[in-house]
Structure 1
Amino acid sequence: MILTQCAVCATELGLSLGKKCGRCSTRYCGAACQEQHWKEGGHDTLCKKIKKAGGAEQYNANKKYAEAVSVATEACAEDTKGQTCYICTQALHWKTKEGLVRGCSCRGTAGFAHVSCLAEQAKILMAEAEENNLGAKALNARFGRWYACSLCEQDYHGVVACALSWACWKTYLGRPKADHIRRVALTQLGNGLSDARHHLDALSVRKTDLLMLRCLGAPEENVLAAQGNLASTYQSLGRFEEALSMRRDVYSGRLKLNGEEHEYTLVAANGYALSLKQLNRFKEVKSVLRKTMPVARRVLGENHDRTLKMRTTYARALYEDPGATLDDLREAVTTLEEPEQTARRVFGGAHPLTAGIEGTLRKARAALRARETPSGSA
């Protein structure tokens, strides 16, 4: 469940507190709020409609999905003008009449699609894998269609990722709570909300995900992943101490569980370093990344987004440190120049990762110029 608050007073209810409407499962903290919602909040006219849609959770997901698609198509309108969907070959979706989006690394005339077409494609691929018992590896690969482009194979980002994450969640939320696909759909929803900068909404999803995993007695691997996601949201909300505490635990847990060369350990290392940097603990940031960056470059490769993010974090720690030397500033610029070119080539100039590295490089160069220019000179 992600509807974890009373529909009237927003009291936090967790997974099981409070009561539900007997017809549509809308949640309340108690009888008083339920009665008020019926008499004054319009629930008397909505209740049957919510039940017909599949209950409160499904109704909410359907509504949020429609809103997210509208936002995504509007944001992509200029880029998609005069194009057609590569799946259905139409400009407007035949049923929903929605416009096109493109939120990946495709360029030119490639990658334009309707969110509904992308969602239907992912849904069909997943259903085939389950019906034919293709196994966990095939399921995980096909689940990637919910968040990555089948053409350029790069992740969707921003409002397009958010719309697809709502599509994913509304597709699988009706499954049992212990169902693996339902759980990863909830995780994907948190990812999409974060990508669109809806961090407070993402926080609710992340907390619910972690609580559910613990209630189900999930493997440590899954719990660590959920903790890492929650820590990222804490950081996005400026709750840096909470983020650091959790990321320290995740990094330590990954080292013990997966070893220093595993991708998940490297992701945890970069997250830990980011939290340290937010608290201006620059010496510790550089210590962590000097140890893990060479591993990432060897294991993941120079083109991997995790490698590029690590190098960007390291460069920021170099030039943002008030005690940075001239050599530190030069190293920061040198560290970023190659990743900037790599990101532009692999992800395209419009991708958030490319834009982030370019912005960081500009700041590093500005800091270097300021130090190299003698005080008072023209």
Structure 2
Amino acid sequence: MILTLCTACAAPLPDEPMQCAECATRYCSERCERYDRRRGGHGRICGAIASGGGAEQYHADKKYAEAVDVAVEECAEDAEGQTCYICTEALHAETKEGLVRGCACRGTAGFAHVSCLAEQAKILVAEGEENNLGLSALNDRWARWDTCSLCKQMYYGVVYCALGWACWKTYVGRPETDRYRRTAMGVLGNGLEFAERNDEALPIKEAELSMERRLGASEDSILVVQGNLANTYAKAGRSEDAVCTSRDVYLGHLKLYGEENEKTLRATNNYASILVDLRHFKEAQSLMRKTIPVARRVLEESNETTLRMRWTYAMALFFEDSTATLDDLSEAVTTLEDIEQIARRVFGGAHPTTSAIEENLQDARAVLHAREETPSPGNASSS
């Protein structure tokens, strides 16, 4: 279930909601169902929803179309004069949609139609299923839903959001127990979060966690869903839920995989990032000082997890500018200068990660410069 609110009154739906017998539109009560049919206008659109595959499919198709329009509009200036690397056309022959690019590709590379990217992912996954490929091969094909095949980096922003809806509308008609339908819910939730639509992402991620527990998912799968949910809690301003959930995820990974596993390292960084957001700077610094050497030993220096851990550590140092020492601020600037170069090399200068690190670097330099210009009380001259 992805539709989590009553169609008539927008109240949260119960575990077993009422629904229209013809189109499966859901309601919190019989009263709301009767009201919507008699006075809310449901009777006028019930047939269209039913012929469109039911309430979930109809909703997904509609949201996908809206998300594509938003992504194309945002990418229009960048995509002017380019062509799709999949179909080689500027306008899609059937949908007439424009181009997008939301990855780390640079120059003339990486432009495509959302529908072309979605169709490519859909075909690759279907071929993998048909040929009974192994789990690793299937996961590689599934990655096309959120990762560019050219630069091998994840999509971001409104492009990821559009692909999230494309993924969900592709698999929503399958049984709840189907692995791809379950995973598609996660892709959609992450896509909405990447587009900063956290109020929409949150109920989807909560529904996903509830579903995974109900279906008896593995501990690893539940930890992944919980970790994604913790990030959304933080972005939606639910601080206590965020820190408690992210701590549970961190400890769960540590117990399941040990400290040198990349999944544990990512969970550690997510926990530390939330601590920084909540201004628990000392705790975040301590955690990062203990864990970054492990990441640098186990992973490459240019690995995204290592980079993000060092970024989190720098933030924990210079955000505490009122009590941070000059050494702390200097270390933050040096760290940000180093990872800015790494991010520029890995992601390119236009990528949001690179831009955010550059902005933090400018802020950290300003804080350091101001502190250096301010004489300490012991050195102040007397009048």
Q: Same fold (TM over 0.5)?
A: yes
Which deviations, in whole Å up to 9, do the C-alpha atoms of 1:107-141 show, x marking residues without a partner?
Answer: 11111100000000000000000000012111100
Q: 2:61: which partner in 1?
A: 62
Q: Which residue of 2 is the match for residue 260 of structure 1? A: 259
* Equivalent position amino acid for 1:164 in 2: L
Residues 1:327 and 2:330 are matched in the alignment: no
Q: What is the CA distance between 1:279 and its match in structure 2?
A: 2.3
- 2: CA distance between counterparts of 1:265 and 1:305? 14
- Cα distance in 2 between the residues matched to 1:94 and 1:373: 61
Q: Structure 1 residues 33-42 or 172-181, which shifts more?
A: 33-42
C-alpha distance in structure 1 between counterparts of 2:21 and 2:215, whole Å: 25
More displaced 10-residue stretch of structure 1: 57-66 or 265-274: 265-274
Q: Deviations over 1:198-238 (max 9, x none)?
A: 00110011000000011111111111111111110010011
Residues 125, 142 of structure 2: 8 Å contact kept: yes
Any idea what SS the aligned residue of 1:113 has?
A: coil
User: How far apart are 1:45 and its partner, in Å?
Assistant: 1.3
1:175 aligned partner, one-letter code: R
Cα RMSD of the aligned pairs, angstroms, is 1.3
Structure 1: how far apart are the matches of 2:221 and 2:355?
Answer: 31
* Offset at residue 284 of structure 1 (A): 0.9
Superimposed CA distance per residue, residues 1-22 of structure 1 (whole angstroms, 9 cap, x where no aligned partner): 11011101111114x3320000
Q: TM-score, normalised by structure 2?
A: 0.96
Tell me the SS of whatever aligns to 1:184.
helix
Contact 2:161 2:188 in 1 (8 A): yes
* 1:89 matched residue in structure 2: 88
Contact 2:25/2:54 (8 A) holds in 1: yes
> Residue in 2 aligned with 1:340?
340
Q: What is the distance in 2 between the residues matched to 1:334 and 1:181?
A: 43
Find out whether 1:45 has 2:38 as its counterpart: no
- The answer as to whether partners of 1:312 and 1:360 remain within 8 angstroms in 2 is no
Counterpart of 1:353?
A: 353
Name 2:244's counterpart in structure 1.
245
State the match for 2:115 in structure 1. Answer: 116
Q: Secondary structure at the match of 1:76?
A: helix
Query: Quick one: distance in 1 between partners of 2:9 and 2:254?
Result: 43
Report if aligned partners of 1:101, 1:113 keep a CA contact under 8 Å in 2.
Answer: yes
Distance in 2 (CA, whole Å) between partners of 1:110 and 1:102 is 9
Match of 1:12 in 2: 12
What per-residue deviation string (whole Å, max 9, x for no partner) do you get for residues 156-213 of structure 1? Answer: 1000000001000100111111111111111111110000000011001100000001
Deviations 1:17-38 (A, max 9, x none): 3200000000011222112211
Aligned to 2:367: 367
Provide the rounded CA distance (Å) in 2 between the counterparts of 1:356 and 1:294: 24
Name the counterpart of 2:101: 102
Is the contact between residue 202 and residue 229 of structure 2 (CA under 8 Å) also seen in structure 1? yes
Q: Deviation per CA, 1:248-300, whole angstroms, max 9, x where unpaired?
A: 11111000001111111111101111122122221111110011112222222
CA distance in 2, matches of 1:224, 1:113: 33
Whole-angstrom CA distance in 2 between matches of 1:304 and 1:180: 29
Shift of 1:375: 5.1
Residue 317 of structure 1: how far off its partner (Å): 0.8
**2-structure distance, mates of 1:267, 1:145:** 21
In the alignment, the residues of structure 2 paired with residue 77 and residue 108 of structure 1 have an alpha-carbon distance, to the nearest angstrom, of 15
CA distance in 1, matches of 2:165, 2:244: 30
Question: Structure 2: any 5+ residue segments left out of the alignment?
Answer: none
Aligned residues: 376
Once residues 166 and 121 of structure 1 are traced to their aligned partners in structure 2, the CA distance between those partners, rounded to angstroms, is: 15
Q: How does 1:1-378 map to 2 (within 5 A)?
A: 1-14=1-14, 16-321=15-320, 322-374=322-374
Whole-angstrom CA distance in 2 between matches of 1:105 and 1:222? 28
Identity %: 61
Residues 88 and 117 in structure 1, CA contact (< 8 A), matched pair in contact too = yes
1:299, 1:192 → 2: CA distance? 29
Rounded Cα–Cα distance in structure 1 between residues aligned with 2:134 and 2:110: 29
The runs of 5 or more residues in structure 1 that have no matched partner are: none
Structure 1 residue matching 2:136: 3-state secondary structure: helix
Cα separation, 1, equivalents of 2:296 and 2:38: 62
Partner of 1:248, secondary structure, is: helix
Greater shift, 5-14 or 98-107, is seen at 5-14
CA contact (8 A) 2:246 2:267 kept: yes
Query: What SS does the corresponding residue of 1:133 show, helix, strand or coil?
Result: coil
Contact 2:336 2:361 in 1 (8 A): yes
Deviations 1:307-365 (A, max 9, x none): 11111110111111231001111000111111101101110111111111111111111
1-structure distance, mates of 2:374, 2:74? 45
Asked if structure 2 preserves the Cα contact closer than 8 Å seen for 1:21 and 1:34, the reply is yes
> Any conservation in 2 of the 1:234–1:242 contact (CA below 8 Å)?
yes
